[in-house]
Structure 1
Amino acid sequence: MVVVGGGLAGLALARRLADRHPGRVVVVESGPDAGRDHYRWVNDPERADELWLDPAVDPHFWQPYEPSDSGYRGIAGLRRRLGGRSLYWGGVVVPIESWALESGEWPAPVVRDLTTSWQGGSSLYETAAEEVRRWAGGGPTTAEPLLSFAGREFTEAPRAVREFAGEGRWRAYSPLDDWPHSVETLCDSHAVAVVASGGRVTGLLVERAGERQVISAPTIVLAAGTVENSRLVLQTLREIDDASPLQLTGLADKLAQGFAASFDPAAVPPSIRALAESGRLHLSRADGELRSSLFIQGHINPHGLLIVDCYCMGEQRPGDAGRVWCEPGPRLPWPTFVAGGLSSVDEQLVQDQRDALNYIHAELCRVSGTSGDALAFTDPFGSVDLGKRLAAGDAMAFPGLASTYSFPIGSEQHEAGTLPLGGALVDDDAKVRAVDGLYVTGPAVFPRTGAANPALTILALAARLAEQLVASEVPPVR
């Protein structure tokens, strides 16, 4: 069996498969094996921020597509190396909210497995959360409210993170930790195309060091990220049927924006001052009205001021505004293009988030006795100077200042939704309907993303697919 992509989804799937069928799984990764530690573990905070916000300095940053004027530019992109984004993510592990899972877009059997019971035991969410909790050294995956403020209850955000004491370094969970030797990894091997005959997978065409070869395999799982998965499926479907589409809609990222504001530490209530003392990220889970998680954290800046950073991360609804398409040519892989605009529903959510953030900022000013104007957001959505805005808090020299920011579409790097489970192209079990032996995993198969960070759902769906593939008794790669 071949797994295409060595990021969180592909590695989690391969690891589970290897536990059941040692020696029968191959992971194909476009990039090198360039070290298996998280970028926040091997770099000091300043260098890590640079790698995040200025991808030109990261040799592994990769945009395998041409962005349009409506998003997916700048810091939007993949990390082409073994481990992928599992070596870059923030570690937040929360499930997709019930209002998104139970809206009718997600297939009912998948929702049941995720939230109620899987194979007669605990749900997939419970199983995945317990696994990362153990990796992180214990501690709850949910917590009692630690901060009640502005009509919201905040808990410490559950994170699969280990910290390196005293240096501001930490790492988030990656399946590469204690990686099983039974899984063969082919790095620096770009997946050019799925090879199919008679409506069935026969292999994978890869390019390595300028040469191409076919890896024969009856089963291929695409876990290369939403855009690359989309390209590979579009190419395969067109090979089978000349009338198949060359475009997939439904591409959705998260809608994220927030503010940083300065306060006199002696003037704020103890509960707000504790944000800086703990250094922890706090979370108020999204409801079905705002469809956005609210995060808040604090620190003391070089001028001795308390900087409160508060942001929303909300659900972009899949629709026609977000698209991936290919232009066929004489040579594979086909050029791939991405667009990611806002629908009217998204624009309303952007405004609702700004209203919520303005209310929280006004309450912070009120309880601290600080005069402050209403937040001035960049309009339209998406700060072109995002890095500068995110760093503005440390330059604030007196109380009452505020800086806003919003992440351009694609730069939150949670893109999803082009190959939804139970849709026209992919069935409830993540199989591409028109091609026997071809499966997809990762956020591409999310029918809706909710406001939640995607990692816990990625891990849960990888576990589900692994068991389905094991049950089918797939023969080994030749």
Structure 2
Amino acid sequence: MIVGGGLAGLEVARNLAALGVEDVLVVEAGPARDLLHINSANDPDQALRTFLDPAGDPHFHRPWTPESAPHYAVNSGLRKRLGGRSLYWYGASLPVEDWALADWPESVAADLRDSWQGGRPLYEQVAVDLGVDPNRLDRQQTVLKLGGFHLVRTPQAETRFGEDGRWYAYSPLDHWRDPVTGAALDSPRGIRFLCDTEVLSVDIEDGRARGVLVREAGPNGEARRICADSVVLAAGTIESSRLAIQALSAADPGRPPRLDGLTDHIVQGFFLRVRDTGDDGASHGLSSPGLSSPGLSDVAPGSYVTACDDAVRSNLFVTVEQPEPGVLLFDVRLTGEQLPGTQSHVTCRAVGDYPWRTTVTAELAPADRDVVARQRQVLDTVWAQLVAEFGLTATPLDFDDFDHPVRTNAFVLPESIGAQASEGPFTWSSLLGTEDHEGCTLPLGDVLDDRHAFADVPGLYACGPATFPRMGAANPSLTTLSLARRLAHVLAAADGAQPGRGTSEADA
């Protein structure tokens, strides 16, 4: 039984089916309709609005109470629908950095990075299946030079179609429905879905997970138990933490109903509109391979990335758009690591019926404040290069208080940018909990063993970013998909299947 039908849960399910496990049940709190990626179903502006400003999304849901508002409040929540956040992400597929993997269990890090079951490492296998470059960023070809930074195309698991800029990022649903039309393809053999059904708790008997207690949506929904040999928590970090806290408390009533280590990525940047008013043919510090003297029109729109110095614990992203000849829009941002610690946690009120009331507390540690400061230094450097190379007015970047920003990531919405009287730069930052990257409450090698199992609750497993010991700076999806494949092999072996060296697209 898999609790949660998002990217992690569905990927575990499809790999289990490919390995011959014939009785997999996915329980999802949301409906099984409207199964297209938001960038497939909508024009680019509406899709971005749905992602960054989810108030109008009927699937948006926040089942926790934030204790550190505005962090984990406002636009922080889940997408309660089959497919979950896999229908919203932008496909960025980066591996966790070596400096962060150093704190992961050695066996897990080796499977991801070095070799898995005697073959290619999981990162490489999954990257190839997604159609992205499996090499590290520093081994990929430089595509864009911005001053002193050498950037490559952001590895993105996306497919473009049509003539109106539409595209979709990978979802495990792509194996079962057409990602453009939504039409059903082959039914997933061995997998059943139970949607519009909330999982209230994991059923614990004699200290072991024996199934779950569920309640179907609607005013007449009654609680009932479903038995299972194994239960996998894949409901998103905070909901999986709530279910884990309840299960751990049932197995050990003296255990505090709290999980520390909650993290999200630290993200801030600036937006800039640049006009080419010169006629000298200068390169303005921007270049593409093979061009001896590129001008503004030679910069290809798209997303570019490079890794910063390890001390910054961040990746630099530069998104370039060209809405009209002679105009460039720059979205410059850094995505950095928040370290797991006791200052950020998920806590339940251990009274009454399930589900227990869940609260989220989030605070940056001193080391995280250092990342904020170092990111701003990098942004200052990039801005200074743009000033020099485009002949802009050297207005200092003005950053808000990270804990109470005036402009959040929703600032890059077209209506926000279009309402600005000047061309920028406009700084912004993301509140914790709004990047959809929260994790680290159920770390492998601590709460979980290196086989993804709860050390204190046999029969209970977890997947997704909640299981990361450290988040690193990388977007979590490539690691989520890689660990889902690894967990599927663990479960298949326990089920009596005989996994081979790995599950590839051809095998599946």
Stretches of structure 2 lacking an aligned partner (at least 5 in a row): 177-187, 288-294, 498-508
Instruction: Report % sequence identity.
Output: 40
Return closer, same or farther for 1:239/1:450 CA change in 2, 3 Å cut-off: same
Give the counterpart of 1:417 among 410, 420, 440: 440
Residue deviations 1:189-208 (CA, integer Å, cap 9, x gap):
11110001111111111110
Aligned residue for 2:210, secondary structure, equals: strand
User: Counterpart of 1:402?
Assistant: 425
Aligned AA for 1:187? C
Letter in 1 for 2:231: I
1:274–1:212: structure 2 CA closer, same or farther, 3 Å change rule?
Answer: farther
* Distance of 2:56 and 2:200 partners within structure 1: 26
Is residue 262–residue 441 contact of structure 2 (8 Å, CA) maintained in 1? Answer: yes
- Residue by residue over 1:77-99, the C-alpha shift from the partner in whole angstroms, topping out at 9 and shown as x without a partner, is 11000000000001000100111
**Cα distance in structure 1, aligned partners of 2:353 and 2:87:** 32
1:144 alignment partner AA: Q
The amino acid across from 1:79 in the alignment is: R
How far off its partner does 1:188 sit?
Answer: 0.5
What amino acid maps onto 2:431 in structure 1?
P
Judged with a 3 Å threshold, the aligned counterparts in structure 2 of structure 1 residues 436 and 140 are, in CA distance, closer, same or farther, namely: closer
Query: TM-score scaled to structure 2, two decimals?
Result: 0.88
Aligned to 1:154: 151
- Give the AA of the match of 2:26: V
Mapped to 1, the partners of 2:296 and 2:224 lie a distance apart of 58
1:90 aligns with 2:113: no
Residue deviations 1:218-246 (CA, integer Å, cap 9, x gap): 20010111101111111011112210121
Q: 2:231 aligns with which of 217, 220, 231?
A: 220
Shift of 1:265: 2.5
Q: How does 1:361-376 map to 2 (within 5 A)?
A: 361-376=383-398
Provide the C-alpha distance between the structure 2 equivalents of 1:84 and 1:230, rounded to a whole number of angstroms.
17
Counterpart amino acid of residue 122 in structure 2: L
- 8 Å CA contact 1:416–1:444 kept in 2: the answer is yes
**2:258 alignment partner in structure 1:** 247
> What is aligned with 2:114?
116
- CA RMSD, 1 decimal: 2.1
Partner of 1:197: 205
Indicate whether 1:184 and 2:182 are aligned.
no
Partner of 2:338: 316
Task: Check conservation: 2:65, 2:359, Cα contact below 8 A.
Answer: yes
How many angstroms apart in 1 are the aligned matches of 2:189 and 2:492? 19
Residue identity in the other structure for 2:158: V
- What amino acid is aligned across from residue 148 of structure 1 in structure 2? K
In the TM superposition, what is the alpha-carbon distance from 1:172 to its structure 2 partner? Answer: 0.2
Per-residue CA shift, 1:346-373, capped at 9, x if unaligned? Answer: 1111011011001101100101111121
Is 1:97–1:286's contact at 8 Å kept on the other side of the alignment? Answer: no
Q: Look up the equivalent residue of 1:89 and give its one-letter code.
A: W
Q: Quote the Cα distance in structure 2 between the aligned partners of 1:431 and 1:69.
A: 31
Asked whether the 8 Å contact 2:112–2:121 carries over to 1, the reply is yes
Q: 1:421 to 1:55 in 2, by over 3 A?
A: same
CA contact (8 A) 2:302 2:321 kept: no
CA distance in 1, matches of 2:258, 2:357: 12
Quote the offset at 1:328 in angstroms.
Answer: 1.6
Q: What is the match of residue 426 of structure 1?
A: 448
Q: Given that residues 402 and 429 in structure 2 are in contact (C-alpha distance below 8 angstroms), is that contact kept between their aligned partners in structure 1?
A: no
Matches for 1:385-396 after TM superposition, within 5 Å: 385-386=407-408, 389-391=411-413, 392-395=416-419
* Unmatched 5+ stretches in structure 1: none
Amino acid at match of 1:122: R
**What residue in structure 2 maps to residue 292 of structure 1?**
314
Deviation at 1:24, TM superposition (A): 1.1
Paired residue secondary structure (1:201):
strand
Determine the C-alpha separation between the residues in 2 that align with 1:298 and 1:398.
18
Alignment check: 8 A CA contact 2:409 2:430 kept: no
Q: Is 1:259 aligned to 2:280, yes or no? A: no
**Paired residue type of 2:51:** W
In 1, distance between residues paired with 2:230 and 2:304?
42
| Contact 1:286–1:292 under 8 Å retained in 2 | yes
Report if aligned partners of 1:263, 1:398 keep a CA contact under 8 Å in 2. no
Structure 1 pair 275/155, CA: closer, same or farther in 2 (3 Å)?
A: farther
SS at 2:201's partner residue?
Answer: strand
Measured in 1, the distance between the counterparts of 2:297 and 2:36 equals 28
Partner of 2:503: none
1:328-477 aligned at under 5 Å gives the runs 328-386=350-408, 389-391=411-413, 392-395=416-419, 401-423=424-446, 425-473=447-495
Three-state SS of the structure 2 residue aligned to 1:256 is strand
Residue pair 1:261, 1:403 contacting (<8 A) in 2 also: yes
- In the alignment, the residues of structure 1 paired with residue 273 and residue 482 of structure 2 have an alpha-carbon distance, to the nearest angstrom, of 40
Rate the CA distance shift 1:339–1:61 in 2: closer, same or farther, 3 A. Answer: same
> Could you say what secondary structure the match of 1:284 adopts?
strand
Which one is further off, 300-309 or 11-20? 300-309
Deviations 1:84-134 (A, max 9, x none): 0000001000100111112xx20001111110000000001011111111x
Q: Secondary structure at the match of 2:225?
A: strand
Mapped pair 1:325 → 2:339: no
Cα shift readout 1:312-365 (whole Å, capped 9, x = no counterpart): 000001112211000022211000010111111111110110110011011001
Query: Larger deviation: 437-446 or 194-203?
Result: 194-203
C-alpha deviation, 1:430, in angstroms: 1.1
Contact map agreement 1:416 1:443 (CA 8 A) in 2: yes
Q: Which amino acid is 1:446 matched to?
A: F
| 2:78 aligned partner, one-letter code | L
> How many Å apart are 1:250 and its aligned residue?
0.3
- Output the amino acid matched with 2:110: R
Aligned match of 2:168: 171
Partner of 2:27: 28
Shift of 1:45: 1.8
Amino acid at match of 1:269: S
Contact 1:150 1:359 in 2 (8 A): no
* Structure-2 separation of matches of 1:379 and 1:398: 22
What is the Cα deviation at residue 308 of structure 1?
1.5
How many equivalent pairs are there? 467
- State the match for 1:76 in structure 2: 76
Query: Does the 8 Å contact 1:219/1:474 carry over to 2?
Result: no
Instruction: Tell me, in whole angstroms, the C-alpha distance in 2 between the residues paired with 1:6 and 1:360.
Output: 40
Deviation at 1:303, TM superposition (A): 10
Deviations 1:266-286 (A, max 9, x none): 447263666885221000124
Q: Structure 1 residue 48: deviation in Å?
A: 1.4
**8 Å contact kept, 2:215–2:224:** yes
Q: Distance in 2 between matches of 1:291 and 1:454?
A: 15
Question: What residue in structure 1 maps to residue 10 of structure 2?
Answer: 11
In the alignment, which residue of structure 1 is the partner of 2:49? Answer: 50
Q: For structure 1, which segment, 374-383 or 246-255, has the greater mean C-alpha deviation from structure 2 after superposition?
A: 374-383
Letter in 1 for 2:91: G
Q: Distance in 1 between matches of 2:485 and 2:325?
A: 48
The SS at the match of 1:466 is: helix
Q: CA deviation at 1:395?
A: 4.4
Q: What SS does the corresponding residue of 1:122 show, helix, strand or coil?
A: coil
